[in-house]
Every structure is written in structure tokens, then in C-alpha cells.
Structure 1
Amino acid sequence: SRPEVLSFYKQVIRLSKAWKAKNELKTSEERIYIRTEAKRLIDGNKHLTEDKEIRKCIADGMRRLQVAQHYGIPYPRPIYYPTGAYLRKQK
């Protein structure tokens, strides 16, 4: 599983090197964000030992990588709630 994580991390690094922001002035800032966010998430999941959990995290990262490539936005996609939606407070 370690090779899978390293392979994923290499993909992220390659993406960050080739990244071109929609606003050219922010290209450097977004490249740094991509690398630091990947490092933060990978370091935050170092404690995982179960293959199933590790594979889930890699799959989540791959989805996020694909969204970034498709939409040209390195940040997580915002979640929008329908207007007028009733959200119940959890107790």
C-alpha cells in the first residue's frame, strides 16, 4: 500500500509543477497550496494501518485530483445546500 500512496503523491507533485491557474497571478500560490494540502492530508493519515481505510483515502484524493484537473480549481468543491432547506440541529 505504501507504493500506492507514493504513486499518488508523485501524481500530485507532477500536477502542482504543471499547474496553471485561471488567474495567472495566482499560479504560484495555487501550486504551493496543492503541495502543502497533499502533504498535510498524507501526514494526517500516517497512522492508518488498515488497507481498506488507506485505499479509501487514496480514492478520495484521486477524486479531488480529478476535480482539480477538470475544473481548474485546486481547492475542495464547496457544498451548496438548497435555499430554504431545513437543516435539523444535531443533539
Structure 2
Amino acid sequence: MTDQDAQPTIHDIELPETGEATFWRDGVQHTLRADGTEDDEPTWTLHAEESLIAHISRREGKWIGSNDSPSRQVESDSDWRQVVIDVTD
């Protein structure tokens, strides 16, 4: 999309069960990709343009986001979107 107002934000998408969902943040395209198999706990990878920036999962009732650069982890009880926003800040 070329019209910045028409580009979806994190609040316009749903967490994909399979495949991926794309959104824009601060003018940068981000992609959430569903990973794992049917036997695994659901996990997602978050990419900024094509670079892997974080892993997102749900454990013990909390959404978890972790990235390597800088190394940190954030948690949210109810909102996966907040974890995504936190790891991209």
C-alpha cells in the first residue's frame, strides 16, 4: 500500500493461527508469522521488514515476548498486542 493512512496498524490485525499478518509501525512494515506444529504450543515470530526481531508465545496464562537485541523479555496477562508494541519499542 502506498497510502500511509490505509496501512494497517497493530490494532487492525488479528493474531494469525496459521500464515502471517502484516502491519505498519512508525513507517516500518512488520510481519507476525505463526510457527510451530499442531502438537506444539502456538508461537509467533515478529519480523521488521525481513529481520527477525522477537518471538511471541503464551505460557502459564501470560503473553511473552522476547528478543535478542537488546536481550529482554516482556509479559502481559491479557494483550498480545501490548507485548508486540513493547518488543518493538
Interval containing the TM-score (normalised by the shorter chain)? under 0.3
Bigger fraction of residues in strand: 2
Task: Say which structure, 1 or 2, has more relative contact order (CA 8 Å, 6+ apart).
Answer: 1
Give the greater-gyration-radius structure (CA).
Answer: 1
Bigger fraction of residues in helix: 1
